[in-house]
Chains A and B, each alone.
Chain A
Amino acid sequence: MAFINYAAREVNCKIVYYGPGLCGKTTNLQWIYEKTNPTNKGKLISLATETDRTLFFDFLPLDLGSIGSLKVRFHLYTVPGQVFYNASRKLILKGIDGVIFVADSQEARFDANLESIDNLDKNLKEQGFDLMKIPYVLQLNKRDLPSAMPADVLTKELRVKGEPVFEAVAPKGVGVYETLKECAKMVLKELRRNA
């Protein structure tokens, strides 16, 4: 669904961060925003509640530079993770090119992760996408917490199709850029494949 502006020789791709409430989606975006060179980023827009929970979405436009004669731009979005915001979550999935699933490694959130993956699968289908086919990366976040489950167990339980897995501590930036990079690469390769 990438939007290709030939006149401006620009490719715009949309990547969505998905996952249960409080898993760290917004934190991923904030870190990317803080660490990106000002010339390569736009404003970070957060439509959030007074308690900093995502209400509708966060949005960050990133300029990655050029491949050959094409300018490559990524639009990063997060969804609101709280269960009752499902109607809004569906809207954010429109026109996506790739998904990063941010899992919360804490044992207490294990079921929430599974429910969220199931919810992603359903919502993607509704928008005409197939989880098994889209560029997709799994991030195991909150690796710093003592209650974090072992990474190999989480990988085994949460992986849906052998997708790349990254361990992360989003507020410290651990694994954040790596996750994005991998997903962006997958998106570009998919675009090339379909060209």
Chain B
Amino acid sequence: MDLILYDEELREIQNLIDQLHVDARSKIVFVVDKNGQQIAGAGDLGSIDTTSLASLTAGNVAATDGLAKLIGEKEFSILFHEGERDNVHISIVGNRVILVVIFDDRSSLGLVRLRVKKGSQELTHIFDRIVEKTKSQPSAGLEAAFAEITDDDIDNLFS
């Protein structure tokens, strides 16, 4: 099913990860859907190619999910990559989105874990609401945006 993100929910997500970014003393906090589409980010985003980050994170999670099923686990809900300078903490939220936190030695794994746990619960609620909203008004706004599209408009995209 399509996921439709409206201003109201996006603002809630943004506020939440802005806070998480501060609380976890992280460099970057990033939310990606499982198919690799970026949803929101906070922190030093200028320093990184966020589109690539989104696609690789989703690929990473998908591969790990596959691995989990193979050995009979439901999922690995947390992935952690430790680098010389930066570390990446990846967690699955509400079974449908991925929360990425990048941090260095100004923070710690313990702190990040703690903050992510709290943030995840709130994120889950927001996404539950987004799913509800998409279900109850599946084409709210969509019709207006797409109805105006003609075949010529689509052709013109490629000229």
Q: Is B94 an interface residue (CB 8 A)?
A: no
Question: Given A2, A6, A45, which contacts B55 in the complex, CB threshold below 8 Å?
Answer: A45
Cβ A3 vs Cβ B33 within 8 A: yes
With both beta carbons as reference points, the residue of chain A lying nearest to B147 in the complex is identified as A195
A191 and B35 form a contact (CB under 8 A): no
**Is B37 interfacial (CB 8 A cutoff)?**
yes
Closest to B65 in A: A91
Binding stretch for chain B, among A69-77, A133-141, A168-176: A69-77
Which of B4, B34, B35, B158 is close to A6, meaning CB atoms less than 8 Å apart?
B4
Closest residue of chain A to B4 (Cβ to Cβ) is A4
Fill in one digit per residue for B128-159: 1 if any A CB lies within 8 Å of its CB, else 0: 00000000000101110111110101110110
Within 8 A of B (CB), among A48-65: 56-57, 59, 61, 64-65
Q: A5-B5, A42-B52, A43-B52 are contacts. A67–B35 as well, Cβ < 8 Å?
A: no
Pairwise interchain contact A12-B37, C-beta atoms closer than 8 A: yes
User: Is B88 located at the chain interface by the 8 A CB criterion?
Assistant: no
Q: Report whether A14 and B148 are in contact in the complex, using a CB–CB cutoff of 8 Å.
A: no
A42–B3 Cα gap in the complex (Å)?
23
Check B34–A94 contact: CB distance below 8 A. yes
A125 interface contact, C-beta 8 A: no
Quick one: given A43-B51, A195-B143, are A4 and B66 in contact (CB under 8 Å)? no
A153: interface (CB < 8 Å): no
B62 at the A interface (CB under 8 A): yes
| Total interface residues in chain A, CB < 8 Å | 41
Contacts of B146 in A (CB 8 A): 70, 191-192, 195
CB contact between A42 and one of B49, B139, B147, B157 (< 8 Å): that residue: B49
**A189: interface (CB < 8 Å):** yes
B145: contacting residue among A43, A68, A94, CB under 8 A: A68
Query: In the complex, what residues of B have CB within 8 A of residue A72's CB?
Result: 157
Q: Which residues of B have CB within 8 Å of A88?
A: 63, 66
CB-nearest residue of chain A relative to B157?
A64
CB nearest neighbor in A for B70: A87
A-B contact list, 8 entries, CB within 8 Å: A6-B6, A7-B9, A7-B10, A7-B11, A56-B59, A56-B63, A191-B146, A195-B142
9 tightest A-B CB contacts, nearest first: A95-B35, A195-B146, A7-B10, A3-B37, A91-B62, A42-B51, A7-B7, A195-B142, A192-B146
User: B-side interface residues toward A, CB under 8 Å?
Assistant: 1-7, 9-11, 33-37, 39, 49, 51-52, 55-56, 59, 62-63, 65-66, 70, 139, 141-143, 145-149, 151, 153-155, 157-158
